[in-house]
Amino acid sequence: MPIAGDLKLKFNSSHRAATATRKWQGNENEYKTMRTMTTETTTQDIWLAAVACQSGYKLFDLRKLGDRKLFVFEDSEGFQNLKRDYYWHQAKVDPLKYKRAIRELKALTIGG
């Protein structure tokens, strides 16, 4: 029995997310599957999240953690270096971009 259209599945965990897309190619036994894996890193620290945002890292997701929020970014070696620099008091920020990032993140946490 042929199935028309696309089927999208998402699997999420606290540190990894996989997205599989299956497209019907002709009959019910022919599917083409494309899988992409991304590794996530999370923080509750709004100040670290602001440093990451002003440094060009995109906020991947915002999750609830009880009455708090969890900021989710795509993990990379660069992000881990930024996090290290932040905690070692060596991160460099543009003050106005940092202020804007903090305001935007606060608006997301209060509004969501």
Q: Is the pLDDT of residue 95 over 60?
A: yes
| Residues ≥6 apart with Cβ < 8 Å to 36 | 18, 19
**54-87 per-position pLDDT tens digit:** 999 999 999 999 989 999 999 999 999 999 999 9
- 39/31 Cα distance (integer angstroms): 26
Q: Kind of pairing, strands 59-65 and 68-74?
A: antiparallel
- What the block records as the tokens of 62 is 């915002």
Q: Give the start-to-end residue ranges of the domains of the chain.
A: 6-111
Which strands, in side-by-side order, build the sheet including 16-24?
6-12, 16-24, 31-43, 68-74, 59-65
Q: How far apart are the C-alpha atoms of 8 and 10, rounded to whole Å?
A: 7
Nearest to 55 by CA among 94, 14, 7: 94
Q: Which residue has the tokens 């999750």?
A: 63
Mean pLDDT of 91-106: 96
Residue 112: predicted pLDDT: 55
Reported as a pLDDT band with limits 50, 70 and 90, residue 19 is very low
**Average pLDDT value for residue range 81-94:** 96
pLDDT greater than 90 at residue 10: no
Mean pLDDT for 85-90 is 97
